[in-house]
Amino acid sequence: MFGIVLSNALFGHLILASSYDQDINKYSIYVHLQPEWNSYPSNIIFDVTNVWSNSNSILYDYNPHDVSNLIAYNSNQLQSQNGKSFVKLKHEFSNCESSWNPLSYRYAIDSVRNNIELMKGTQLNDDPYISVFPNIPSKPNELIHSEYIQFIPICTSKDNTSYEYAITSNDDQLSFDAYFVSSEDELQNYLSSSSFTPYLQEGCSVQNHSSFSGICKNVGKNSGLLIMIPDNLKLSLTKITVNIHEM
């Protein structure tokens, strides 16, 4: 009986998957903290889903037997923030050019997982690729300027656009801050001078939350999210799920 139900679900999800009128851009960023960090030997994975309107969409034709493009694209990079080093690896395609199209079985799996999370209350809508997470405040960060900071760029073909965004993690004790900023230059400003300029519109930032969804309107085409993770991680692997959706 379960096999029959799943087969029917697969057929339905295949139809739904083809109905998306926006591109889905999925990628991961893996960060391995080095001994200078209080959280060593913790690892962070940013699992990013970006759904956006692309007038020049190029469908990425995934061939599991051909890894040449992935090998060329994926490379370890030793970097540092505030004198503390880490190894960063970007996985898959995050260049706002290729569109990721979920295979029917992947869509079915993602939809089942989404429905489970919906029943548990960890997700508030029924779309596996445009997520809404509950707003859950957490205790304030006590560590000043000792966090790990990741910039997540948006994708857009417009000069100005609006994005809804959702952030959560697998650690309910985590307390992150997030800010929409005009470009990745604001990350460098913060690292060099401890200051940066976020968008000041309502909904464009959040502090001290373990889960959050919001909307930031009228941002420029080079904009993105600055996500700050305090250097007091307890898990060996902290997964940060980031969903951003052009409205």
Q: How far apart are CA 103 and CA 14, in angstroms?
A: 8
Lowest mean pLDDT among 22-36, 85-99, 200-214, 232-246: 85-99
Q: Please report, rounded to a whole number, the percentage of residues in the chain having pLDDT higher than 90.
A: 49
Q: List pLDDT tens digits, range 221-238.
A: 999 999 999 999 999 999
Residue 56 has pLDDT above 90, yes or no: no
Report pLDDT for 17: 36
pTM of the model: 0.78
Residue 239 has pLDDT above 90, yes or no: yes
Q: Which of 21-25, 132-136, 223-227 has the highest mean pLDDT?
A: 223-227
Residue 151 has pLDDT above 90, yes or no: yes
Number of other CB atoms surrounding residue 37 within 10 Å: 19
Q: List pLDDT tens digits, range 160-169.
A: 999 999 999 9
Per the prediction, the chain carries an average pLDDT of 78
Under 8 Å between Cβ of 50 and 244: yes
Q: List pLDDT tens digits, range 84-127.
A: 999 998 765 556 766 666 555 455 556 656 666 656 566 656 66
Q: How far apart are CA 216 and CA 49, in angstroms?
A: 17
Count of the separate structural domains present in the chain: 1
Residues of the domain holding 235: 2-246
Burial 177-197 (b: 16+ CB within 10 A, else e): bbbbbbeeebbeebeeeeebe
Q: Burial of 52 by CB count in 10 Å (0-12 exposed, 13-18 middle, 19+ buried)?
A: buried
